[in-house]
Amino acid sequence: MLDQALAARATTPRASLRDAAAAVLAAWDDEANREGDMIAALDAPMEALRTLLAGKPASASREPGAPRKAREGTKQEQVLAMLRRPEGATVAQIAEATGWAQHTVRGFFAGLKKKGHAVEVRERIRQVGPNKTGAKGSYTVYALAE
Protein backbone atom coordinates (compact mmCIF):
# COMPACT_ATOMS: atom_id res chain seq x y z
CA MET A 1 0.00 0.00 0.00
CA LEU A 2 2.79 2.41 0.94
CA ASP A 3 4.70 1.54 -2.25
CA GLN A 4 1.65 2.49 -4.31
CA ALA A 5 1.38 5.81 -2.49
CA LEU A 6 5.06 6.55 -3.11
CA ALA A 7 4.74 5.65 -6.77
CA ALA A 8 1.71 7.91 -7.14
CA ARG A 9 3.58 10.70 -5.37
CA ALA A 10 6.54 10.39 -7.74
CA THR A 11 4.33 10.87 -10.80
CA THR A 12 2.31 13.82 -9.48
CA PRO A 13 3.52 17.42 -9.42
CA ARG A 14 5.08 18.73 -6.24
CA ALA A 15 2.43 19.02 -3.53
CA SER A 16 2.36 21.39 -0.62
CA LEU A 17 3.30 20.37 2.89
CA ARG A 18 -0.37 20.50 3.78
CA ASP A 19 -1.21 18.02 0.98
CA ALA A 20 1.62 15.73 2.08
CA ALA A 21 0.45 15.82 5.70
CA ALA A 22 -3.11 15.05 4.61
CA ALA A 23 -1.83 12.07 2.62
CA VAL A 24 0.11 10.78 5.65
CA LEU A 25 -3.00 11.08 7.82
CA ALA A 26 -5.10 9.27 5.21
CA ALA A 27 -2.60 6.43 5.11
CA TRP A 28 -2.55 6.41 8.91
CA ASP A 29 -6.33 6.08 9.06
CA ASP A 30 -6.27 3.11 6.67
CA GLU A 31 -6.68 0.06 8.92
CA ALA A 32 -4.62 -2.13 6.56
CA ASN A 33 -1.48 -0.17 7.53
CA ARG A 34 -2.04 -0.47 11.30
CA GLU A 35 -0.30 -3.69 12.18
CA GLY A 36 1.93 -4.03 15.25
CA ASP A 37 2.47 -2.24 18.55
CA MET A 38 5.08 0.18 17.21
CA ILE A 39 2.38 1.98 15.24
CA ALA A 40 0.47 2.75 18.46
CA ALA A 41 3.40 4.90 19.64
CA LEU A 42 2.67 7.33 16.82
CA ASP A 43 -0.99 7.89 17.75
CA ALA A 44 -0.28 11.05 19.77
CA PRO A 45 1.98 12.72 17.16
CA MET A 46 -0.55 11.94 14.42
CA GLU A 47 -3.34 13.46 16.48
CA ALA A 48 -1.22 16.58 17.04
CA LEU A 49 -0.62 16.82 13.27
CA ARG A 50 -4.34 16.46 12.65
CA THR A 51 -5.07 19.25 15.16
CA LEU A 52 -2.54 21.58 13.56
CA LEU A 53 -3.94 20.97 10.10
CA ALA A 54 -7.47 21.60 11.26
CA GLY A 55 -6.52 24.85 13.00
CA LYS A 56 -5.03 26.62 9.99
CA PRO A 57 -6.90 26.61 6.69
CA ALA A 58 -5.02 26.26 3.43
CA SER A 59 -3.88 29.60 2.11
CA ALA A 60 -6.09 30.70 -0.75
CA SER A 61 -4.41 34.07 -1.12
CA ARG A 62 -2.03 33.04 -3.89
CA GLU A 63 -2.02 30.62 -6.77
CA PRO A 64 0.34 27.63 -6.66
CA GLY A 65 3.64 28.61 -8.21
CA ALA A 66 3.00 32.33 -7.78
CA PRO A 67 5.72 34.31 -6.00
CA ARG A 68 5.32 34.76 -2.29
CA LYS A 69 4.66 38.12 -0.73
CA ALA A 70 7.80 39.44 0.93
CA ARG A 71 7.80 39.52 4.70
CA GLU A 72 7.93 42.97 6.19
CA GLY A 73 10.55 44.20 8.65
CA THR A 74 13.24 41.67 7.77
CA LYS A 75 16.96 42.32 7.58
CA GLN A 76 16.87 41.45 3.89
CA GLU A 77 14.27 44.13 3.31
CA GLN A 78 16.42 46.56 5.29
CA VAL A 79 19.49 45.80 3.14
CA LEU A 80 17.51 46.23 -0.08
CA ALA A 81 16.24 49.60 1.15
CA MET A 82 19.81 50.68 1.89
CA LEU A 83 20.95 49.59 -1.58
CA ARG A 84 18.07 51.50 -3.21
CA ARG A 85 19.09 54.81 -1.59
CA PRO A 86 20.55 57.34 -4.02
CA GLU A 87 23.88 57.26 -2.18
CA GLY A 88 23.93 53.44 -1.95
CA ALA A 89 25.59 51.69 0.99
CA THR A 90 28.91 50.20 1.99
CA VAL A 91 29.45 46.70 3.29
CA ALA A 92 30.41 48.18 6.67
CA GLN A 93 27.19 50.24 6.86
CA ILE A 94 25.05 47.21 6.04
CA ALA A 95 26.94 45.00 8.50
CA GLU A 96 26.45 47.57 11.27
CA ALA A 97 22.74 48.01 10.50
CA THR A 98 21.97 44.28 10.38
CA GLY A 99 24.47 42.86 12.83
CA TRP A 100 25.84 40.59 10.09
CA ALA A 101 29.52 39.91 9.49
CA GLN A 102 30.99 41.58 6.41
CA HIS A 103 31.40 38.25 4.61
CA THR A 104 27.68 37.59 5.19
CA VAL A 105 26.82 40.87 3.49
CA ARG A 106 28.96 39.95 0.48
CA GLY A 107 27.28 36.52 0.40
CA PHE A 108 23.90 38.24 0.43
CA PHE A 109 25.02 40.23 -2.61
CA ALA A 110 25.87 36.94 -4.36
CA GLY A 111 22.40 35.63 -3.52
CA LEU A 112 20.83 38.76 -4.98
CA LYS A 113 22.71 38.14 -8.20
CA LYS A 114 21.34 34.59 -8.36
CA LYS A 115 17.84 35.97 -7.96
CA GLY A 116 18.32 38.34 -10.87
CA HIS A 117 19.12 41.57 -9.03
CA ALA A 118 22.22 43.45 -10.17
CA VAL A 119 24.34 45.00 -7.43
CA GLU A 120 26.59 47.60 -8.97
CA VAL A 121 29.64 49.40 -7.68
CA ARG A 122 28.84 53.10 -7.42
CA GLU A 123 32.17 54.27 -6.08
CA ARG A 124 35.46 52.87 -4.80
CA ILE A 125 37.27 54.94 -2.23
CA ARG A 126 40.85 53.76 -1.85
CA GLN A 127 43.01 55.06 0.91
CA VAL A 128 46.65 54.55 -0.02
CA GLY A 129 48.96 53.34 2.70
CA PRO A 130 52.68 52.75 2.78
CA ASN A 131 54.12 51.10 -0.32
CA LYS A 132 51.03 52.19 -2.28
CA THR A 133 48.91 49.38 -0.81
CA GLY A 134 45.29 49.67 0.25
CA ALA A 135 44.97 50.89 3.79
CA LYS A 136 42.27 50.70 6.42
CA GLY A 137 39.58 53.15 5.50
CA SER A 138 39.23 51.95 1.91
CA TYR A 139 35.66 51.09 1.00
CA THR A 140 33.27 50.49 -1.88
CA VAL A 141 29.78 51.94 -2.25
CA TYR A 142 27.20 49.50 -3.67
CA ALA A 143 23.69 50.07 -5.00
CA LEU A 144 20.99 48.11 -6.80
CA ALA A 145 21.02 48.66 -10.54
CA GLU A 146 17.44 49.43 -11.50
Separation CA 60–CA 18 (nearest Å) = 13
Instruction: Quote the pLDDT of residue 107.
Output: 95
Name the 3-class secondary structure at 143.
strand
DSSP string, 14-26: PPPHHHHHHHHHH
Give the torsion sign (CA, 56, 48, 9, 35).
negative
Instruction: Give the start-to-end residue ranges of the domains of the chain.
Output: 2-55, 75-145
Q: Where are the beta strands (DSSP E) in 10-138?
A: 89-90, 118-125
Task: For residue range 55-75, list pLDDT tens digits in order.
Answer: 755 555 567 677 777 678 899
Separation CA 77–CA 30 (nearest Å) = 46
Query: For the whole model, what pTM was predicted?
Result: 0.52
Top CATH class of 75-145 equals mainly alpha
Separation CA 16–CA 93 (nearest Å) = 39
Low-confidence ranges of the chain (pLDDT < 50): none
